Amino acid sequence: MVSSALVTSFLLAASASASPTKRGTGAIKCPVVLNGFVPADMTPTDFDSYATSPFNPDYIRGSEKFSQILQFPTTVGSSRFDNASTVPVEVTINDKSIFQTQNGFRRAGLQIQGDTNTGGPGTTGVRTLHFSVKQDPARTLNLTHEYLNVWHEASDYSSNQFNFQTGTIIGSSGTDKSNFKVLNRQNSQVWSTPVDATAWQNFAITLDFSKNTLQVYYSKNDEPLKAVTSAVYNNNSGGGQYQIGILKKPTGTSDVVNSGYQEKGISEGQIYGGIFLEDSANGCVSL
């Protein structure tokens, strides 16, 4: 079993070298700030310990431990920035996925170790969050609901600097429910693309905390990432942490945190790969 600390050390050393580190078909060319890669020799129980998990073992989950929540998909191949040394991981939710007293949500998510709510390394300078997603045909999302998949939550929990989500956004017609959508801090859509049922979909979101801008990059499977937006204004103030997983909102309520309808027998998942945050000073973005 390879510890997450060793993987982090490897990535940081490699990013400082003259040649890019090759991971799958994607090359990491910028310094890695937060490492969410999952070593290939991890076991489920490794996710339950600070010593062996790349993620916080206590957040964000209900009563079940991450060894019960996270799955290792074996037939999906590698995402763009994964290779034989790292593997994808699937975040799943079920009827027990209730975090604290948030009875309206069904929720489970990953917080990369080292990402702190205040004064953390993820909220200074220019940072790019990378992640790839793939769909599990055995654990499909119910797109009549609104889902938050990846977001950055301010330290006072009152707002998110950005949201990456899918499904039927509450209050909308749902005509774009089968799209992934990137929303800014004002919950206005910046960009969207259809959810692909079979392909790896690769995303990178650059936040400039000095200039208050947001920029989105995208590709499929092994293709290099390309900018799909310019650097648009976004209020990135307020600190906070990156959240990666599934937050399924209820329907039929104005109090989504505490009440509303969630069907029984939920068994849903989202596969993630190639999770890392890099330093994008001087325009550096791994493509």
Confidence of residue 9 (pLDDT cuts 50, 70, 90): very low
Decide the pairing of beta strands 241-248 and 106-110: antiparallel
Task: Give the tens place of pLDDT for each residue, 200-211.
Answer: 999 999 999 999
pLDDT at 24: 64
- Contact between 37 and 276 under an 8 Å Cβ cutoff? The reply is yes
Share of the chain above pLDDT 90, in %: 88
pLDDT exceeds 60 at position 116: yes
Q: How far apart are CA 22 and CA 109, in angstroms?
A: 27
Query: Average of pLDDT values for 83-92?
Result: 93
d(CA 36, CA 8): 9
pTM: 0.91
Q: Give the pLDDT band (50/70/90) at residue 83.
A: confident
